Amino acid sequence: MAPEPRSSNPEDVRMALRAARLYHFEGATQAEIAAVLGVSRPTAGRLIARARAQGLVRIEIVVPDELRAQVHTDLERELEAAFGLTEAVVLGDAPDDSPASLAPLARAAVAVLGRRLPAQATLGFTWGPETIAVATELGPHSARCATVVQLDGSLTSSDYQTGVEFTLGRCADRLRANPVRLHAPLYADAATVVALEQDSVLGRAIALGRTAEVMMFGVGTVSTATTLFEGSYLDTALLDELRGLGAVGEIGGRFYRADGTDVPGSLAARTVSVGLDAIRACGCTVLISGGAPKHQAVLGALRGGLATILVTDIECARWLLEKKEGARP
């Protein structure tokens, strides 16, 4: 925005400069400025505003040199504007497949929870390496909530370790919350899913998950590198079918396309997890993800309104901004 025309009256400029100096350099309040300059408090406020509007004050925000590789507030603001996010947190290094590489993202997510998680809220999570990392980084005073609930089933015929018990138990302990386990498979036949939802215990967990005030999750890819394939939840034939339907990512075992819309087909009716519509309806959804293999899945999630808060790495952030066409208005 261009500055408004500057007054040609030296006294007007002098008073605006005096007020601005007192306010910005000496930390004076408007009441103190009014007393020093002999004007009313509202007039002091107008003088400060006039100095800014007429270009007499220049405010510069400087990132310390030693933190330039770690702090990326300009990119965060661009992401928030491009995708309609409540908050974006951008870190320096992209994670790889190792748990240690997820620790910085997890610590940032813990900080977000400390600011965003109400003490009386229910926190829902989907299982995966990102939420395991968050649980690992939680300290005894990181945050607090009333209930922690598992959003997706995890039982499988293989010996694959999902980390659900660790994530649920540690989150409940650190957040001083009541844990609610969804002791069910991720995929079953459609009739079984209906029966599970009607079960007095499992149905309560699913219903509680759907109405959680805060949800946190990572995203999965449509590839053999996904945890769903590694855990024998999906096979190559089903992956091929999902790709043919346009799937680019999944949250809680539910797949979505590049524009963020749900993938059609019978798999959704066989999935024991909170639906994508419930995630879209949640007021605070924290997506924790990064690394080049996850770029397309993160983009689809953002386009589909599946996250209000994003915690990611700088490479992913830059890639998302390059692809921001089709972002949420």
DSSP 192-258: HHHHHHHSTTHHHHHHHHHT-SEEEE--B-SSTTSHHHHTTSS-HHHHHHHHHTTEEEEETTEEEET
Same domain for 171 and 31, yes or no, is no
Same domain for 127 and 235, yes or no, is yes
Same domain for 313 and 189, yes or no, is yes
Same domain for 91 and 140, yes or no, is yes
Q: How far is CA 168 from CA 138, 146, 154, 175, 180, in A?
A: 12, 13, 12, 10, 8
User: Considering the domain boundaries, does residue 58 fall inside one?
Assistant: no
Sorting pLDDT into bands at 50, 70 and 90, what band is 225?
Answer: confident
Backbone angles phi, psi at 87, to 5 degrees: -155, 145
- Strands 284-288 and 214-217, by their bridges, are parallel
Number of structural domains, the chain?
2
Same domain for 40 and 176, yes or no, is no
* Section 278-294 average pLDDT: 96
* Section 200-215 average pLDDT: 94
**How crowded is the C-beta side of 72, counted as CA atoms within 13 Å?**
22
Same domain for 164 and 187, yes or no, is yes
User: Considering the domain boundaries, does residue 88 fall inside one?
Assistant: yes
User: Considering the domain boundaries, does residue 1 fall inside one?
Assistant: no
**CATH value at residue 173:** 3.40.50.1360
SS (H, E, C) 41-100: HHHHHHHHHHHHHCCCCCCCCCCCHHHCCCCCHHHHHHHHHHHCCCEEEEECCCCCCCHH
pLDDT for residue 2 is more than 60: no
User: Considering the domain boundaries, does residue 303 fall inside one?
Assistant: yes
Q: How far is CA 87 from CA 123, 196, 237, 284, in A?
A: 18, 36, 38, 10
As beta bridge partners, residue 177 has: none
Residue 267 has what pLDDT? 92
Chain centroid to Cα 105, Å, comes to 11
State the pTM of this model.
0.84
Please give the share of the chain, as a percent, with pLDDT higher than 70. 93
Residue 94 has what pLDDT? 85
User: Considering the domain boundaries, does residue 42 fall inside one?
Assistant: yes
The residue count for the chain: 329
- At 108-131, the pLDDT tens digits run 999 999 999 999 999 999 999 999
Same domain for 83 and 49, yes or no, is no
- At 47-106, the pLDDT tens digits run 999 988 888 888 777 667 665 656 678 899 999 999 999 999 999 888 887 888 999 999
Same domain for 202 and 242, yes or no, is yes
* Section 285-301 average pLDDT: 96
User: Considering the domain boundaries, does residue 59 fall inside one?
Assistant: no
pLDDT for residue 291 is more than 70: yes
Sorting pLDDT into bands at 50, 70 and 90, what band is 1?
Answer: very low
Same domain for 30 and 120, yes or no, is no
> Could you tell me which of 281, 277, 225 has the C-alpha nearest to residue 249?
225
Q: With H, G, I as helix, E, B as strand and everything else as coil, classify residue 291.
A: coil
Same domain for 46 and 70, yes or no, is no
Q: Answer for the pair 175, 145: CB distance below 8 angstroms, yes or no.
A: yes
Domain that holds residue 21: 10-53
C-alpha to C-alpha distance for 310 and 327, rounded to whole angstroms: 14
C-alpha to C-alpha distance for 134 and 111, rounded to whole angstroms: 10
Same domain for 125 and 43, yes or no, is no
Same domain for 93 and 215, yes or no, is yes
User: Considering the domain boundaries, does residue 328 fall inside one?
Assistant: no
**CATH value at residue 35:** 1.10.10
Residue 57 has what pLDDT? 85
Task: Point out the least confidently predicted range of 60-64, 109-113, 201-205, 242-246.
Answer: 60-64
User: Considering the domain boundaries, does residue 5 fall inside one?
Assistant: no
